[in-house]
Amino acid sequence: MKQMTNIKQANKRLVRNLFIVAVAMFGFGYLLAPMYDVICKVTGLNGKTGRIEATQAAAGKVDKSRVVTVEFTGNANSGLPWEFRPLTKQLSLHPGETAEVKYYVRNLASENITGQAIPSVTPGDSAGHFKKIECFCFTQQMLKPGEAREMPVKFYVDADLDKDIKTITLSYAFFNTDTALAKKYGGAAIAQTENHADHAAHSHPASGS
CATH value at residue 33 = 2.60.370.10
Residue 61 lies in a domain: yes
Total domains, the chain: 1
Residue 190, pLDDT > 90, answer no
DSSP alpha helix (H) spans, the chain: 2-43, 54-59, 179-184, 193-202
User: In this predicted model, what pLDDT tens digit does every residue of 2-36 receive, in sequence order?
Assistant: 555 556 566 666 656 665 655 444 444 444 455 44
Burial (0-12, 13-18, 19+ Cβ within 10 Å), 98:
middle
Cβ atoms of residues 135 and 202 within 8 Å? no
How high is the pLDDT of residue 28? Answer: 44
Burial (0-12, 13-18, 19+ Cβ within 10 Å), 102:
middle
Indicate the SS3 state at residue 207. coil
Q: Residue 133: give the domain boundaries.
A: 11-17+22-202
Burial (0-12, 13-18, 19+ Cβ within 10 Å), 123:
middle
Q: Are strands 130-135 and 148-157 parallel, antiparallel or unpaired?
A: antiparallel
How high is the pLDDT of residue 114? Answer: 98
Residue 191 lies in a domain: yes
Residue 208, pLDDT > 90, answer no
